[in-house]
Structures are given as C-alpha cells and as structure tokens.
C-alpha cells in the first residue's frame, strides 16, 4: 500500500493531528489537500504540545516531506509564522513544499470574512475568521491569486490591482469601511513570496513521482465530513470539499491511487461554530465532556459544543467516504460516565430517519433516538491492547463499529504519542 487518506468524520477536531503524527513514522510524504489556516491539528509529545494550521502534522518526523497541496488556501503570513516556530524547535524547513497552484489568502479575504459574518447577524456561521470562505469564492470566480502569481512581481501587481479595485468597492460601498492599499499589500506579499520562493514547487509532479516509486503517502484531511460544502450541514459548513473524494484532486494524485481511506471519529461528538447538532447536550453531561476532553478550539479557543455519538450522521459519512477502516478517538474522555448514549436514528414529525435530512431546518428539528450503554467507570488511558480495555468499553466500541458498518482499526486513549490501541495493522 502506498497512499492512505485520513479524513475527519464529524464536525472537525476528531484528533486527525494525533493520528497523522503517529502514522507518519512510517510515511515518506504527508499532504494537506484542502482547507487552510482554519484547521488546528494538535500533536502532543510528553509535555510538549504543537498546533498545526497549514503545515502538515507529519513535520515532526525528520524524514517526512510535508506538502501543502493545490487544494489548500494558503495565508503566507500565518504559514511563515508557523514555520518560524518550527525553525526555533530545530525542525528542518527544507522538507516543506507548497503547490504553486495553491490559492493565496489575501488581506481582503480576512476583512470580508469578518464583514460578511457581521452582516449575517444571528444567522452567522461562526467561521474561524481566517478568510477561508472568501478565498475559495475567488478561486471559483477565477479571480484568485495563486502561489505562482506571487513569484512574478509585475504579473502579481496587475492581477492584484484588478481584483483589489473590485474588493475595495465591496468594502467601501457595501460595508462602509476603509479601502485597502494596493501598495501596502503588494509590498507585503512580494516579501512573503521571496521568503517562500524556495518552497513553492509543482507538487503534483513530486507526488506522482513518489507514487511511481511506491513511497508511503498520507493525505491529511482538515475539518470533517459534516462540514463538507456538499454533504455537510449546509450552509453551516466550511468552503471546501472535506471528503475523501477530494483528497486526490486536492493533492494532484489520481483517484485510484488511494489504497485506504481511514475515517476519524471521536467516541462522542463536538462542533464549534453555528448550525444544527442533533445530539448536543445542554446539561451537565455536555459540560463534563467539554472539561474531560478539553474541548476548546485549537485555532480560536472557543468552547466546543459537545454531545453523544451520532451514529446516523456517522453511517452517512462512512458511506460517502467509503471508509476502509475507522479510528475512534478520545475513548478515555468517557471513562467517568455511568451511562453513555448513542444516537441510532432521528425522529422528525413522527417519522424515523436513518440519514441526515438535507434541509438544515429539518435537521435542527430532528430529535435523537438513543440507546443507552453502561459506562465502564475505569481508566482506559494506559491500555495498550484490545484486551486491556474494560469489557463495557469494548462492547460500546463494537456497537459503534456495527452501526458504522466499517471495521475498527484503532482506538485512541490519550492525546500523547503511543496512547493508541491497534486492532488491525494499517499497512503503509
């Protein structure tokens, strides 16, 4: 096997960073294929914690080449800041390459993200304010600026001058704010381009060569399938395709090159930002999950909304992505609960639903139908193999596996490297 896609299966923050960091010990390449600085992927090594936003989470392995693929939208200032932090830790930055086709998140994208959110009022999406939506809008409107454009100073200036005129009309005439300066943006971004020049490459050729050599490639998803632009809880979604189907496009690899798709779920569910969430808990149980799971956003610090495992959404996502196997993360967070629920269907106007409805108002009106499982009320964080887990925990996990209809490959019992129970070998 050479190519594995690792995909978030809920509303993001499932623990993709931890899984990538562990699997990357056997990888040659780790590739981000969509999203941008809205992602926050945490990796814990002993007392040290790292949060990655644009740099692939495999970077702590000295031999891994980290690719920011064409499907990503790149904020060069944020990326340089992240790279500088890594440099100070002694990480060799030559291993980071950025697709020349990746779109650049520009200052007006940040401004418009904020202004559009403010204008939505109570209907706001709760974006992470990293300019992601406006950057993807420009990509599809064909007025985006790509990394390759930044490298050609005059060409960049003429593109920027045309697009900025249009953006400034929006910023001043629709939103009544001050216009942005062409000179300032041009100078700032030419400076970033100079600093990033050596990293900007035709990454699709690099990856296709690696594929030909049967190198081990991990495709690192950001966000999660319930935030997918098509299949998520639209319009409360992110602006990219987060599902496995986009992993090949966003990396520049053929679809059939992906040998294995691994879906990442938490043993419960969280969401940050607005939008329907059928199993959300508004009681002390939700608070207990948030406290035990330290459920506060990696990128924004916002408290995450917490709820029971939603197997209706879970099965829908497993089928959409064609998961070959799944990981269940943060099992240890449930250790102290005396009873644990799983949502097995939704009830809407007297009907029972087995898949999330497309209309977000219908989804918001869905009531979860639960089955209740006894808690194991014992620590799981030192488990190193399946038999170390309490029997009630094993029964809970087997039930989730059956509901998802996908084999369980690993169970995570703590944030640190190695705090993982493997049920089957994931060949890379």
Give residues in contact with ligand GDP (CB under 6 A): 8, 12-18, 40-42, 44, 293, 298, 329-330, 332-333, 412-415
Nearest residue (CB) to ligand GDP, 19 versus 320: 19
Nearest residue (CB) to ligand GDP, 170 versus 288: 288
Contact with ligand IMO (CB under 6 A) among 2, 233, 238, 246: 238
Q: What are phi and psi for residue 254, nearest 5 degrees? A: -65, 145
Nearest residue (CB) to ligand IMO, 127 versus 203: 127
- Return the ∠ at Cα 427 (arms to 422 and 428), rounded to 5°: 120
- Tracing tokens 């030419």 back to the chain, one arrives at 190
Least Cβ distance, residue 221 to Mg ion (angstroms): 11
Q: Has 287 been annotated as catalytic?
A: no
d(CA 115, CA 129): 10
Q: Which of 21, 41, 310, 324 is catalytic?
A: 41
Contact with ligand IMO (CB under 6 A) among 3, 24, 29, 40: 40
238 binds, among ligand GDP, Mg ion, ligand IMO, none (CB under 5 to 8 A by kind): ligand IMO
Is 329 a binder of ligand IMO (CB under 6 A)? no
Nearest residue (CB) to ligand IMO, 37 versus 414: 37
d(CA 49, CA 149): 35
Query: Which residues have a Cβ under 8 Å from the Cβ of 74 and sit 6 or more positions away?
Result: 36, 54, 68, 98, 102, 103, 104, 105, 147
Contact with ligand IMO (CB under 6 A) among 32, 130, 146, 290: 130
- Tracing tokens 């440099």 back to the chain, one arrives at 87
d(CA 65, CA 396): 38
d(CA 205, CA 69): 11
241 binds, among ligand GDP, ligand IMO, Mg ion, none (CB under 5 to 8 A by kind): none
Is 40 a binder of Mg ion (CB under 5 A)? yes
Query: Which residues have a Cβ under 8 Å from the Cβ of 219 and sit 6 or more positions away?
Result: 3, 4, 5, 6, 31, 33, 247, 250, 251, 253, 258
334 binds, among ligand IMO, Mg ion, ligand GDP, none (CB under 5 to 8 A by kind): none
Least Cβ distance, residue 274 to ligand GDP (angstroms): 18
Near Mg ion by CB under 5 A, which window of 9-17, 70-78, 173-181, 304-312? Answer: 9-17
Q: In what order do the strands lie in the sheet with 420-422?
A: 200-201, 96-99, 65-68, 29-32, 217-220, 3-8, 260-266, 325-329, 408-412, 420-422
Is 126 a binder of ligand IMO (CB under 6 A)? yes
Is 69 a binder of ligand IMO (CB under 6 A)? no
Least Cβ distance, residue 120 to ligand GDP (angstroms): 24
Contact with ligand IMO (CB under 6 A) among 39, 193, 200, 217: 39
Is 223 a binder of ligand IMO (CB under 6 A)? yes
Query: Which residues have a Cβ under 8 Å from the Cβ of 222 and sit 6 or more positions away?
Result: 8, 12, 16, 32, 34, 35, 36, 38, 39, 41, 240, 242
Q: Which of 13, 75, 113, 332 is catalytic?
A: 13
Least Cβ distance, residue 146 to ligand IMO (angstroms): 20
Least Cβ distance, residue 328 to ligand GDP (angstroms): 9
Nearest residue (CB) to ligand GDP, 286 versus 415: 415
Percent helix, strand and coil across the chain, each to the nearest 5:
40, 20, 40
- Return the ∠ at Cα 223 (arms to 335 and 112), rounded to 5°: 135
Q: Has 154 been annotated as catalytic?
A: no
Is 415 a binder of ligand IMO (CB under 6 A)? no
Rounded-to-10 torsion of CA 371, 376, 379, 380: -60
Instruction: Give DSSP secondary structure letters for 137-158.
Output: HHHHHT---BHHHHTSHHHHHH
Contact with Mg ion (CB under 5 A) among 223, 242, 298, 420: 298
Interface residues toward ligand IMO, by CB under 6 A: 8, 11-13, 38-41, 125-128, 130, 132-133, 222-224, 227, 238-239, 272-273, 298
Which residues are catalytic, by number?
13, 41
């Amino acid at each position: 096997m050479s190519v594995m896609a690792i995909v978030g299966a809920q509303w993001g923050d499932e623990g993709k960073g931890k899984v990538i960091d562990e699997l990357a010990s056997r990888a040659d390449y780790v590739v981000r294929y969509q999203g941008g600085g809205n992602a926050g992927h945490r990796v814990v090594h002993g007392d040290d914690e790292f949060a990655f936003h644009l740099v692939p989470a495999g970077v702590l392995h000295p031999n891994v080449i980290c690719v920011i693929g064409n499907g990503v939208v790149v904020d060069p200032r944020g990326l340089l800041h992240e790279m500088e932090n890594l440099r100070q830790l002694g990480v060799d930055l030559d291993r980071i390459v950025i697709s020349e086709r990746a779109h650049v998140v520009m200052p007006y994208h940040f401004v418009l993200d904020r202004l559009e959110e403010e204008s939505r009022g109570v209907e706001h999406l709760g974006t992470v304010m990293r300019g992601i939506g406006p950057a993807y809008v420009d990509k599809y409107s064909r007025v985006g600026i790509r990394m390759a454009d930044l490298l050609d100073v005059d060409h960049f200036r003429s593109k920027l001058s045309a697009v900025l005129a249009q953006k400034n009309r929006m910023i001043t005439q629709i939103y009544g704010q001050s216009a942005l300066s062409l000179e300032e943006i041009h100078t700032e971004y030419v400076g970033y381009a100079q600093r990033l020049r050596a990293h900007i490459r035709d990454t699709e050729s690099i990856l296709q060569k690696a594929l030909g050599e049967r190198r081990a490639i991990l495709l690192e998803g950001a966000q999660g399938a319930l935030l997918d632009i098509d299949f998520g809880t639209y319009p409360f979604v992110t602006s990219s395709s987060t599902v496995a189907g986009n992993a090949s496009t966003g990396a520049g690899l053929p679809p059939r090159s992906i040998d294995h798709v691994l879906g990442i779920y938490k043993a419960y569910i969280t969401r940050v930002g607005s939008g329907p969430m059928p199993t959300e808990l508004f009681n002390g149980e939700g608070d207990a999950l948030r406290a035990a799971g330290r459920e506060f956003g990696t990128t924004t610090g916002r408290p995450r909304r917490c709820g029971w495992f939603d197997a209706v959404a879970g099965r829908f996502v497993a089928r959409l992505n064609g998961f070959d196997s799944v990981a269940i993360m943060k099992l240890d967070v449930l250790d102290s609960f005396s009873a644990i629920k799983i949502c097995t269907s939704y009830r809407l106007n007297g009907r029972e639903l087995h898949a999330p409805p497309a209309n977000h108002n219908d989804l918001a009106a869905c009531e979860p139908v639960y089955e209740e499982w006894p808690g194991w009320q014992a620590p799981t964080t030192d488990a190193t193999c399946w038999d170390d887990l309490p029997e009630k925990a094993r029964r809970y996990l087997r039930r989730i596996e059956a509901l998802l209809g996908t084999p369980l490959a690993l169970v995570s019992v703590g944030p640190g490297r190695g705090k993982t129970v493997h049920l089957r070998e994931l060949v890379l």
